[in-house]
Structure 1
C-alpha cells in the first residue's frame, strides 16, 4: 500500500478565559484541501475551557497517536505506534500534521485510535511524567483519548475527545479593597509529583517521588488572583501549603482528602490587613466547586492564618451519649455536587456528546435544539419503527464509576413511555422504566419536582439475561413543563469500558420530547 503521507488533525477547541498571550489572529488553511492523507481527524477536549487557564494550542504542540486493528488492545502489534503530529501555528482552531510518514487507513478492515498529549518519543504502552516543574502547565496537563472506533475507507472522519488524566488544584485569592499582590508564589510541601499513564486505558499510577512544587500567583481581575497546580492523584490532607505574597509568608495545612483523575479541587483564600493596618493575614475558605475539570471533594472548614493570632473556634456541641442506645449518633450526611454523566451531557457541546456514543451513533429522530432547561437540548421527534435506542454513551477515561443518582430533565409528549439502561462493571444492564406521565400516571402539577425510578434487574429469556425495559401505553405529557427524572443507582459500580448509559423510546407511536442536563452525584 502506498503511503499517502500525512494524517491531519483539525481541532476546534473552545476555551473560556485567560488565553495564552500572543494568541493567533491568522487564518488556518483547510488541511483537507491539500491531499495529504485519507484519515480526517478533528478533536475537542471535554467541555469548554478545560485546559489550564483556558489556554489555546501553541505552535509546535505535539500529540501522539496509536492506530489499532479494530478490537485490538494497545500493545506490541499495533497498526501504528506513537505517530507524532504537531501544530503549524497557534490558535483555537489549528491543524496538526505528521513529522514523518502519516497513518493511512487500511485497504480492508477497520482501525481504532488512541491519542495522548503531550507527545514523548519512544512511548509504547505507558507515558511517564514528572510534575515537579509547574512553570509550563500545559506540558504536564496530560490529555487522553480512546473514544474513536471503527474507522475505515468509507468512514474516514474521526473526532477525538480528550479528557484530563491528572488533578488540578486551584488556589483563588481575593484581596481586601486597596490591597494588591505584586509578587506571589504558592508552594505545596512534600507533594507526590511523578507517575505513569497506561495508554491502553488512560489510568494513572501515582509514583513515590515527592517535591515542593511552586506556582506563581497571577492577577485575574480586580482584587482577584489565582495560582494553579497540576498533580497526580493523591491524598493532600495535612500537606502544608505556603503563600509567599510580597515577601510575607503564610502557611496552613490542606484538608483535601484523596484526589482523583480529571477532577479540580478549589481552595478559596482571602488576603487582608489586620486591625492595626500594619500586617496582613490570609483567611483560607477551604471547599470545592464544580468546574470544567469536574468537581472535586470537600476541603474542610475555614482556616485563618498569618497576621494576628487566629481566633479560637468553639467545637460544635454534640448530643450527650445515651447508654441505652444501640448505636452511636451518626454525622449529618454531607451534600454532594452533581457532575456531567457523559461528555456534552447538557447538549451544548454537541460534537463532544456525539463522540461519546458507541458505534451505532445518534438515532436519526434526535437533533440539537435551542430552548433547553439550560442552553441547548436534545429533541426527539417522529415515529420510531420499534422500541428504539436514541443514544448509547460509552465509558470515558476519568469518567464516573459510582454514585447515588443519575438525573435529567424531560419535557414534551409521547404516546408511550421511555426507558433507560445503566450498565455496571460486570456487564449487567439495569433498566429504569418511566411509567406514564400525565392524566394516566405521574400527575404533573404547577411544580412537579422529581420522579424517582428504581432499577429493574435483567430478565431471563432463552438462557440469556436481557434488560427488563418496558414502554407503558398512555405515554407522557409534561404539560409543557420541564420535569426532573432521577434514577437510583446507589450501590452499583458503573462500567469503565464499553457501553455505560442508554436512552430508549417506545416504538410505532408519535414522539415529541426534549431532554437535557444528564448528571450524576
Structure 2
C-alpha cells in the first residue's frame, strides 16, 4: 500500500457541523491500517436540521464521495464516486475499499452527494423527481465544505445542504366539506428532470414534463410534501385536488423555485364559494421551521371534468402492468378501450372515479405501441387518450451465443464446453433485466475458476466491435475476468479484467487474467463492454468464458451477453 491512513466518513447532515468521536473500527477489506472513525449529530445553533425523511439518516443511506487535490477541479479527482453507507447513526463507512489519504501529507478536498448513484457521467448528477412516493430517494443533498484535509487532520465532517426545492401544502376542510378522507392530488405542467453539477453545485432544468402524484397524508387535516426542481416556476403547474367526486384546481402565482428553499401554502377546500386570498405562500430556507402565509381557499370546478393521471405509459418487454387514475364526477359513466389485443384493460367501463389497470402480454419482437381511449358518456366532455409503449424483446439475432440471454436455459447449458457450469451458478427466472431470466452467481470460491466457457456456434461472426453484458449485485474479495477466444491471440484468447466495478465499464484486453477488485452495482444494472474491434473471433471450439477469482464471495446476476 502507498498510503497509511484510510478514511471513513461521518456526515453532518444539512447545515449541521459537530464533533467526532472514535468508537468503532470499520473494516476496509481486511487491511491492517490506522483508521479514522467519526460520529455526527444533526444539530446546529440549537435547532434540528432535517432532510426529507426526518431529522436523522436512515439505515442503508448511501453517499458518493470524491477526493481531489485542494483547489483542483473535481474532474481531476483521485477517488471518484466512492460509495459510503451508514447504519443510520450518521457514521459512514466504505461499501468496499475506502478512500486513502495521501501519505505525503498533501492537502485534499472532498465533494459528496446523496442519494448515491452507481453511474455519474462527467461529474453530472441526473435528477428525476417523477416518482414522489419516497422523497428520501430524490432529496438531493450536496457537500463541498471539507477542504484542506490531510493525514494529520483526518476527521472529516461533511456539511450537506438541500439542492432541490420543496413544496409543502397544509390542507384543511372548509364549508361544505366534512372530511378529507380519500383526498388525492395531481400536479401537472412542472418539469421532472434536470442535471446537477458536482463541480459547481448548479442545477440545469430539463425538458420533461409529467404528472406528479405526491403522497397525501390525511388525519384531521391533510399534508402534502413534494420535491421539485429549482429553476421551474410554480405558475407553470396546475394542482388538481380530487375529493368525493369533486375536483378543485389551483394554479399558484408566479414563483421561480430556488435551490434549498421550501414553499409552504395553506389550502382550504370548500363548497361555499369563498374566493382565493393572497395565494403567495411563504418561501423559507429548507432548514427553517417557520410556516405561514395566507390560506388559499378553493371551490370545486364549475362544470364537469374528465381527466387521467397519465398521458403516457412505458412497459417492460416482459408481461407487465401499470395503473392510471381516472377523475370525473361521481355520476359520470365511461368506457375504456385498447387499440391492440396484446394490451388489456380492467375495468372496461364504470361510473365516477376509477383505478384502471393496463396489462400487456410479453413482447417477443420489436418495440410496439398502443392507445387507450377513455370515453365519457357526457358528449360535452372530451375523451382522454393514453399512449402506451412496450419495450422490444431481446432477440436471438444479437445474442453472443445460444442461450446468452438466459431465457432458454437448456440452450445455454448445451452450448457450454465439457466442463459445464460451476455449481454455484444457476438460472434466476425473474432476476434479469425487466424481470426476465438471468444467470445468478451465488457462493464463495477457493480458487480462480471458469464459471463457464461457451463454444462457438454457426451464428458466431468472424469479427465484431463489442461484446456487451449486464451485471447487477456484489462481489467481495475479487472481481471477474473474461476470455474472448481468437486464433490470433497469445494463448488462444484475449483477456479482459473488470477490476473495481461500481458502474458502467468499457474494457480493453490485458496481457493476463487478473481478478483484483470488487463489484457493487448499488442494486442497479450496469453495462460492461468488451472492446474487440479488429479481433478475429474463433468460429470453432471455445468462444467466450467468464472467470471468477479465488477467496471471493459472489452474489451477482449476469444478463444479455450480446454483440453490438
TM-score w.r.t. the length of structure 1 is 0.49
Which one has the largest radius of gyration? 2
TM-score w.r.t. the length of structure 2 is 0.45
